[in-house]
Structure 1
């Protein structure tokens, strides 16, 4: 099983960033509007449509508000792993900054490069979208 772990600092408070990351239904669209065209709940899953045409059906595993941690699994659509477990966590890093940690375990291993590229591409977009820099449009 391949494990991918990525992390980036975001110039915004952990509570503000968590308000977006922890939003299972609309979080993907809110955190990466340049990369995500749509994100909505369908039954016990959310369906995320990406700008490149990829569609991922993701099942919520858990949302832990006290630790600012959400866990989900890609369970189908155009991406069909045998096993997927993704964890997103927001960790405070001072009063006006936090770290966004994104870890994923995926099978088969040959899906790892695709997932790694997607995560690595998304991180700077997420940081830019959620940062409180002048002109960033962050909440």
Structure 2
């Protein structure tokens, strides 16, 4: 299994970043508003509606407030030819504010080369959205 791991430093306190990550029903508002149009929760599943209308169903595996870690796996609607996709976000304290780590495991191995650029762009988008929300909250 191939692992893609990216991280970003945010100038936002760790608790604020964690609150955005842990709010699994609001990823379209708090983390990736340009990538996800809408979210519905169905028990432990999260259904993401993409801007093109495609729906992706994810199983929320864990939301651990003590570790500040949220994990999920895609179970339907995979947008790439992946046979396995599991990912997690974890938030750590950092001298600049916080560090957000996004780790994604995929099969087949070769697909990591296609997943990495999407995750790298995604974490920058998440950083920008969370930092902008923090600035707006201060105003």
* CA-to-aligned-CA distance 1:25-77 (integer Å, 9 cap, x gap): 21343212122211221343111123355532110111110111011101111
Gaps of 5+ in 2: none
Equivalent residue, structure 1, for 2:129: 129
- How many aligned positions are there? 137
Distance 1:120 1:58, change over 3 A: same
Correspondence for 2:3: 3
Contact 1:12 1:132 in 2 (8 A): no
**Alpha-carbon distance change, 47 to 36 in structure 1, aligned in 2, over 3 angstroms:** same
> Residue 117 of structure 1 aligns with which residue?
117
Q: CA RMSD in A?
A: 2.3
Structure with greater helix share of residues: 2
| Pair 129,138 (structure 1): closer, same or farther in 2 beyond 3 Å | farther
Provide the secondary structure at the position in 2 that maps to 1:26. Answer: helix
In the alignment, structure 1 segments of 5+ residues that lack a partner are none
Worse overlay, 26-35 or 57-66: 26-35
Moved over 4 A (4+): none
- TM-score normalised over the length of structure 1: 0.84
Are residues 114 and 76 of structure 1, via their aligned partners in 2, closer, same or farther at CA, if it must alter by over 3 Å? farther
- How much does 1:15 deviate? 0.3
Q: How does 1:56-67 map to 2 (within 5 A)?
A: 56-67=56-67
